[in-house]
Amino acid sequence: MSRIEIIVAILAGIVQGIVEWLPVSSQGNLALFLTVAGSSPEQALQLALFLQLGTTVAAATYYREDILEATAAVPDWRPSRAFSGPHATTSFVVVATIATGLVGIPIYVYAVDVASDLTGGIFLAVIGVLLILTGVLQIASRSVALGTREHPGFVDACLVGAAQGLTILPGVSRSGTTTSVLLFREYSAPAAFRFSFLLSIPASLGAAALTVASAGGLPGISPVAAVTALAVSALVGYLAIGTLMQIVERIPFWAICFGLGGLAIVGGGLVTWLV
């Protein structure tokens, strides 16, 4: 282990902690950074997936009260009230995670090797355009109650989970895609971000486990560097969530759509340009 490896680990943790919550591909951006820093493309991709563990810790810590409340309600869970009261969050995460697996695993097995970064870039840019159009719609029609929903339903869980499964494709942003689906389903911006971040926890755990299993251990990084990168990404990720939630609670829904849409278009354009 060298000093350079620790510095790269710290920088990688900072990058992951910030871009994980933005509508740009955190996996793609971090893999690009690691490749420039000297990792092979294969190792860079594996490390990018592995470092999602850090931001998973950040999300779990930030939403610890939600997680504890949902866990405490599990013994009283019944199908008849699966999406009501304290059971709604638990049911949403479970159903969405199952939908993610049903969509994402076949894509990973059969399609991810032949899917190009261009595909992901175009998909991300299209999401950005749709978000901006949603913002325009709200400005043009103030009487339409957009962005007011707070509680998830079964259809929402299926749609968001399926959309998250698509983000296994190169260049597609997980948080950008899931947040966008919830905004399209007329959720308030804080609720959309909250459910998107909660859903990232099982998804990131699965991605990290798959990475470690396929690499036969830590993917091309020493234990000390791995712990350093995870700790930095967890700390920066926690601070980034707090900052982002403060922003979305203070500005109008249409502005959220314009901001996320613009970032998604830029991110998709960069992916397309780089390939």
Residue 207 pLDDT? 76
In contact, 55 and 234? CB cutoff 8 Å: yes
Q: What pairs with residue 149 in β-bridges?
A: 187
- CB atoms under 10 Å from CB of 60, counted, come to 19
In contact, 241 and 197? CB cutoff 8 Å: yes
First-to-final CA distance of the chain: 32
Residue 131 pLDDT? 67
In contact, 193 and 179? CB cutoff 8 Å: yes
Residue 143 pLDDT? 47
Q: Could you give the number of structural domains in the chain?
A: 1
pLDDT tens-place values along the chain, 275 residues long: 578 888 888 998 998 898 888 766 677 677 777 777 777 666 777 777 788 889 999 999 999 998 998 888 888 888 888 888 878 888 999 999 999 989 988 876 665 555 555 555 676 677 677 667 766 755 665 444 556 788 899 999 999 999 998 877 766 778 878 888 888 888 888 888 899 999 989 988 887 787 777 667 776 778 888 889 999 999 999 999 988 888 877 877 667 777 777 877 776 666 666 55
State how far the Cα of 48 lies from the Cα of 174, in Å rounded to an integer. 13
Average pLDDT for the chain? 79
User: What is the Cβ-side half-sphere exposure of residue 146, based on CA atoms within 13 angstroms?
Assistant: 22
Please name the residues in contact with 14: beta carbons below 8 A apart, sequence gap of 6 or more. Answer: 232, 233, 236
In contact, 30 and 48? CB cutoff 8 Å: yes
- Local structure of residue 144 (DSSP, 8 states): S
In contact, 246 and 6? CB cutoff 8 Å: no
Based on the number of CB atoms within 10 Å of its own CB, is 54 exposed (0-12), middle (13-18) or buried (19 or more)? Answer: buried
Tokens of 118: 């261009």
Tokens of 116: 């190009």
Tokens of 8: 């790269």
Residue 1 pLDDT? 58
Residue 144 pLDDT? 45
**Residue 97 belongs to domain spanning:** 3-274
Distances (CA, A) of 118 to 88, 113, 159: 37, 13, 24
**pTM to 2 decimal places:** 0.75
At residue 167, φ and ψ (nearest 5 deg) are -75, 0
At residue 198, φ and ψ (nearest 5 deg) are -60, -40
Task: Write the DSSP assignment of 194-211 as a string of letters.
Answer: HHHHHHHHHHHHHHHHHH
